[in-house]
Amino acid sequence: MTINGTEGTTFIRSASAQGLAGLCTWAALLITSHQIYQHLRFYSCPAEQRWIVRILFIVPIYAFDSWLSLIFFSDNVYIYFNSIRDCYEAFVIYSFLSLCYEYLGGESNIMAEIRGKPIRPTNYLTCTCCLAGKQYTIEFLRFCKQATLQFCFIKPIMAVITLMLTAIGKYEDGDWSLDQGYIYITLVYNVSISLALYGMFLFYAATRDLLSPYRPVLKFLTVKSVIFLSFWQGFLIAILGATSAIDPIYDADGKEVIGRGTVAAGWQNFFICIEMFFAAIALRFAFNVSAYADAHNASSANDGRPVTLQSISSSLKETMNPKDIMQDAIHNFHPQYQQYTQHSNAQRPQQPGTSTSTEEQRMSKAGSATNYSTMVESGTHDSSSGAPSQATGNLLDA
């Protein structure tokens, strides 16, 4: 991937590269936009579909931002586009973990299933040897959520700091100097994203059997490849930018006009544009809308209400409301709620005449939303036994 040449002759700056990236970007946008529309049209299970729609938005945001960054990569303008993209990826990681919670009926139901069981696996390869002999507790589940939520807060903060350092000339992609901010931002990013990945791995290992009916492997691989692999791909390209593998761009007089770090960022944006086309296809299979469409059609046949643009707009507005994230953050970090588990709303009855397949049984049992205001104390009792004490009230008022 060695790049040599004067301004205007490098492939990454050519019309061919930008055209190919643009073609993949717009193809990914069309595929994912149609899938998002389908989920909003057949919005039969808001508790799950709001998380799915949030996850799907990663493709248009990643692809379009990367394409714009590729077009403006010769200036520092691309850093602003990348900051928007970076902030949303943290949101997607949290949304995916929350979707898994919804699949399993919420935090209290998960604890009822795994409480007291030995933690698996425990070995050096997965960095879980310190958990040998321990059992699943609410603290374990809380750690998985906290590991994900910390990335949601760290990522935007680092993005703002990056913009501030860029404004004062203390940040440039690929500049590993100790007096520049890039090395420190990268270090914090790596620690934060690795912790988030570790939390997701622990959760998956604990609930793998419970999640098996919902094709978790395809979903995990797709989401993780979009976010984590693209991050480490950018990290690898940045390292190459610090070597002779990627050269800066010079003008006709031999003066450097674009640094190695900026060229490396350009290659990262180009690769992301291409990869988002394949990610859009993979996400279409991973989060298929057919089960929700069947449930919606069965419901519509009973109440006779048509789907309108107003209802689709209302569903989109509900989906993108970030209030639930703040409530979840308070629940997972506030000391007052450390021994309480979130308790889901009552199940809605199965629609008459529908199939009893695994997917549709899940659809019929899903609540309309997680009730963050009702929690069950997680002591010796669980929500499935005894008469546990409850704490009620709005978490945002705590």
Each residue's pLDDT tens digit, 158-174: 989 998 998 888 887 77
Report, as an integer, the average pLDDT of 32-58: 90
Cβ partners under 8 Å of residue 227, min gap 6:
58, 89, 92, 93
The pLDDT of residue 271: 92
Question: In the predicted model, is pLDDT for residue 284 greater than 80?
Answer: yes
Tokens of 360: 């549709």
Find, among 209, 231, 373, 363, the residue nearest to 299 by Cα.
Answer: 363
pLDDT range class, residue 307, cuts 50, 70, 90: low
Q: At 11, list the tokens.
A: 């492939």
Token digits of residue 166: 């860029």
Does residue 30 carry a pLDDT above 90?
A: yes
Window from 64-73, 158-167, 263-272, 386-395 with minimum mean pLDDT: 386-395
Percentage of residues in the chain with pLDDT exceeding 70? 75
The predicted pLDDT at position 378 comes to 47
Q: How far apart are CA 293 and CA 221, in angstroms?
A: 25
Paired tokens of 372:
């963050």
- Neighbouring residues of 261: CB distance < 8 A, sequence distance ≥ 6: 172, 173, 174, 175, 182, 238, 241
Q: Is the pLDDT of residue 131 over 50?
A: yes
**Three-state DSSP state, 258:** strand
pLDDT tens-digit series, residues 141-159: 888 888 988 988 898 899 8
Instruction: Please provide the average confidence, as pLDDT, over all residues in the chain.
Output: 76
Residue 367, pLDDT > 90, answer: no
Q: Are 73 and 262 in contact (CB under 8 A)?
A: yes
* Proportion of the chain above pLDDT 90, given as a percent: 16
Q: Where are the beta strands (DSSP E) in 185-239?
A: none
- Please report which confidence band the pLDDT of residue 309 belongs to, taking 50, 70 and 90 as the band edges: low
Which pLDDT score, from 0 to 100, does residue 369 have? Answer: 42
The residue that leads in pLDDT, 90 or 322, is 90
Q: What pLDDT score was predicted for residue 6?
A: 45
Report how far Cα 352 is from the mean position of its chain's Cα atoms: 35
Q: Which amino acid is at 140?
A: F
3-state secondary structure of 340: strand
| Mean pLDDT, residues 37-56 | 89
The backbone region for 254, taken as left when phi is positive above 0, alpha when psi lies in -120 to 50, beta otherwise, is left
- Which carries the bigger pLDDT value, residue 216 or residue 64? 64
Q: Do residues 319 and 311 make contact, with C-beta atoms less than 8 angstroms apart? A: no
Work out the pLDDT band at 126, boundaries 50, 70, 90: confident
Cα separation, 177 vs 269, in Å, equals 23
Distances (CA, A) of 303 to 52, 276, 363, 370, 396: 25, 39, 18, 24, 35
The residue ranking higher by pLDDT, 335 or 27, is 27
According to the model, what pLDDT value does residue 308 have?
65
Q: Is the pLDDT of residue 341 over 60?
A: no
Q: Answer yes or no: are the C-beta atoms of 287 and 56 closer than 8 Å.
A: yes
Three-state DSSP class for residue 386: coil
With a cut of 50, say whether residue 9 has pLDDT above it. no
Decide if pLDDT at 375 tops 70: no
Question: What pLDDT band is residue 63 in, cutting at 50, 70 and 90?
Answer: very high
Under the banding of pLDDT at 50, 70 and 90, the label for residue 52 is very high
Q: What is the mean pLDDT of residues 210-227?
A: 83
DSSP 124-183: TTTT-GGGTT-B--HHHHHHHHHHHHHHHHHHHHHHHHHHHHHHTT---TT---TTSSHH
**What is the pLDDT, as a whole number, of residue 75?**
63
